[in-house]
């Protein structure tokens, strides 16, 4: 009776040894990569921002957390999804979070917070600007802090809630600092451009005035006058013009 069970167990063990490990990219990311397990299809993005297959939260808790995630999205245009599974087969929660991130956040910016209750493991996966660009160094430290905050709480629901609470509390300051730096840089660039345009206009005006005065000076140096030819009548054998006249007096000859 025990022999058939041992044979079945032996074949299963051989299959696990031949197959890639759960954490490897081939077996976890692609069902055709050699894993004996077929990866579950990805769910559509939840409108409530929460996918609770592990049933960590009741309806009231989901509604409250969903409202906070919606408020965060409306303020910063960054989406945060929280997903929880009882157990994953054929992939780790890290791989699942990456797959969900690629499906749900392909054209946007956001974070997928994943939790697997069976392995008591948590994962964070972010994408988009500025999370995966300018804020990437800060975000790595923030994820580490969120993981530590989760580890300090008892119970699966408490761990997930602690991690999400820390993200919602700390992310706004990083984002606002980035936005302020961008506004300051934009203001500085606008100020520099204004000064540059003002100096350009000033130099252009000075050049025009200089050209005008130089031209006038040149005209004064080379100025000449041309008088038209006029006919002047003769009076007493001399030309008569301009009101000037000659007066000739004769004296009485002496006897």
Sign for the pseudo-dihedral over CA of 148, 152, 157, 161: negative
Asked if residues 85 and 117 have their Cβ atoms less than 8 Å apart, the reply is yes
Length of the chain: 255
Model's pTM, two decimal places? 0.59
Quickly list DSSP for 52-82.
ETT--S-HHHHHHHHHHHHHHHHHHS-EEEE
**Residue with token string 């991130």:** 101
Q: How far is CA 207 from CA 81, 210, 240, 243, in A?
A: 62, 5, 52, 50
Class of domain 40-178: alpha beta
For the record, the structure tokens of 118 come out as 């069976």
Could you state, in order of their start, the residue ranges of all structural domains in the chain? 40-178
Q: How far is CA 156 from CA 57, 142, 160, 249, in A?
A: 10, 20, 6, 140
Task: Output the tens digit of pLDDT for each of the chain's 255 residues.
Answer: 444 554 444 444 444 333 333 233 323 334 333 345 567 889 999 999 999 999 999 999 999 999 999 999 999 999 999 999 999 999 999 999 999 999 999 988 999 999 999 999 999 999 998 888 888 889 999 999 999 999 999 899 999 999 999 999 999 988 888 777 654 344 445 555 665 666 676 777 777 777 777 777 666 666 665 666 666 666 566 655 555 555 666 666 665
């Amino acid at each position: 009776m025990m022999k058939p069970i041992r044979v079945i167990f032996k074949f299963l063990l051989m299959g696990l040894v031949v197959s890639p490990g759960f954490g490897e990219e081939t077996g976890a990311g692609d069902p055709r990569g050699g894993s004996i397990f077929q990866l579950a299809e990805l769910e559509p993005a939840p409108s409530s921002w929460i996918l609770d297959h592990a049933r960590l939260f009741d309806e009231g808790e989901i509604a409250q957390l969903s409202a906070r995630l919606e408020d965060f999205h409306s303020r910063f245009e960054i989406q945060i999804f929280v997903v929880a599974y009882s157990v994953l087969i054929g992939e780790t929660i890290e791989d699942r979070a990456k797959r969900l991130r690629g499906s749900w956040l392909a054209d946007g910016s956001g974070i997928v917070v994943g939790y697997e209750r069976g392995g008591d493991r948590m994962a964070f996966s972010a994408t988009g600007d500025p999370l995966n660009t300018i804020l990437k160094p800060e975000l790595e430290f923030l994820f580490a802090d969120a993981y530590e905050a989760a580890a300090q709480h008892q119970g699966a629901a408490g761990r997930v809630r602690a991690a999400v609470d820390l993200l919602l509390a700390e992310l706004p300051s990083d984002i606002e600092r980035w936005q302020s730096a961008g506004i300051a840089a934009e203001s500085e660039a606008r100020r520099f451009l204004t000064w540059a345009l003002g100096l350009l206009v000033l130099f252009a005006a000075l050049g025009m005035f200089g050209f005008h005065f130089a031209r006038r000076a040149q005209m004064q140096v080379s100025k000449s006058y041309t008088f038209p030819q006029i006919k002047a009548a003769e009076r007493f054998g001399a030309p008569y013009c301009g009101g000037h006249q000659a007066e000739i007096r004769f004296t009485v000859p002496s006897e």
